[in-house]
Amino acid sequence: MSTLLESFNYVRPTNLDQLNLLVMDYITKGYDFTFSAGGTDIIPRLKKQIFNPENLISLSGISDLKGIEKKGEIIIIGALTTLDDLANHDLIKKYFPTLAHAAHKVASPQIRNRATLGGNIMVDNRCSYINQSSLNRDCHAPCFKADGDICHIVKRAKRGDEVLCQARFVSDTAPVLLLLEANITIMGQGGLRKIKLNDLYLNDGIDNRSLRKDELITKIEVKIPENESLHYEKLAIRNALDFPSLGVAVCLSEQNLSVALTGLNPRPGLFKAKIKNYNNFDEMVSDICDQALAFAVTYNQDFFPRAYRKSMIPVFIKRGISNILKEKK
């Protein structure tokens, strides 16, 4: 018998119709449920009893949600495509080498064989208090993310604050997809809807995704860029396994410079600058660095001290730009 996992009911629908019927049934009956794609983040959180759903709906049997295809100038990625398949797919390596690189930077080879792109952009926010064993957590009062009334990171935080929970957003692929202006298709009881990836995220560490309980991402659509070059750099103690302490994606075209950040605030940061609005290139770079620094809220909830993580933001932005310019030559 399982020693660590709490008991739950497990269902694995094999197509989208079955899934819809099941979700409708659960919603009408008022059952508590959660979706699981690859499960590589959900299983550790279940083991640590960070949440205990009554029902686990596994999406792994739905083959319609896997695979990558090209339709005209758009690449459509199924939400259940594994990160390993994404990083090694010919279309992705050809048109979005930086997305392949970012997918390759996630966790470890064994985890990438199972973890999915949909799961990575939906990954739950992390914090050095909540992502611990239940034994460790039991030594403290429950925090806001655990339905309690205190934040162990920001002691003065209280209900009613603009940002209640400071758990960090830690997806590696999302900043690159944000710069590529990806759209996501969401399936729910009301049918399908398509939104910009940037509109998915809220600045709330408890749950930063603007999805209803019955909704899930089915596909990610990315337009092939015409003359944009991207770069992604990740700060982490180890090359394998670590979530980003800071991740900076930079995108440079002839007209625009844009930057996306991960590993800091509850939501990813996205900043754009038009080259024509500035007197010279350096002025634009320093303005976008200032915007990024103004956005970034860092707390000591990581291996790296907060000041170090913050001071690396302009370093990574400038390094990204110089790498892009070097590759163009």
User: Residues in the site for other proteins, rule: CB under 8 A?
Assistant: 1-10, 12, 39-40, 43-44, 46-48, 56, 58, 60, 84, 107-111, 113-114, 239-241
- Closer CB to other proteins, residue 169 or residue 243? 243
Least gap, CB of 221 to other proteins (angstroms): 27
What is the distance between the alpha carbons of residues 292 and 263, in angstroms, rounded to a whole number? 13
- Closer CB to other proteins, residue 10 or residue 281? 10
What is the distance between the alpha carbons of residues 325 and 161, in angstroms, rounded to a whole number? 42
Q: How big is the CA angle at 40 (ends 35 and 46), to the nearest 5 degrees?
A: 65
- Closer CB to other proteins, residue 53 or residue 225? 53
Return the CA Rg of the chain: 20
CB 37 within 8 A of CB 119: yes
What is the distance between the alpha carbons of residues 302 and 126, in angstroms, rounded to a whole number? 10
Residues 6+ apart with CB under 8 A from 155: none
Least gap, CB of 12 to other proteins (angstroms): 7
- Closer CB to other proteins, residue 60 or residue 286? 60
What is the distance between the alpha carbons of residues 163 and 154, in angstroms, rounded to a whole number? 11
Least gap, CB of 37 to other proteins (angstroms): 11
Least gap, CB of 271 to other proteins (angstroms): 32
Q: What tokens were used for 188?
A: 């729910």
Least gap, CB of 154 to other proteins (angstroms): 26
| Total count of residues recorded for the chain | 329
- Closer CB to other proteins, residue 44 or residue 97? 44
**What distance lies between CA 132 and its chain's CA centroid?**
20
Least gap, CB of 208 to other proteins (angstroms): 22
- Closer CB to other proteins, residue 6 or residue 149? 6
CB 230 within 8 A of CB 179: yes
- Closer CB to other proteins, residue 89 or residue 267? 89
Least gap, CB of 203 to other proteins (angstroms): 28
- Closer CB to other proteins, residue 12 or residue 306? 12
Least gap, CB of 224 to other proteins (angstroms): 28
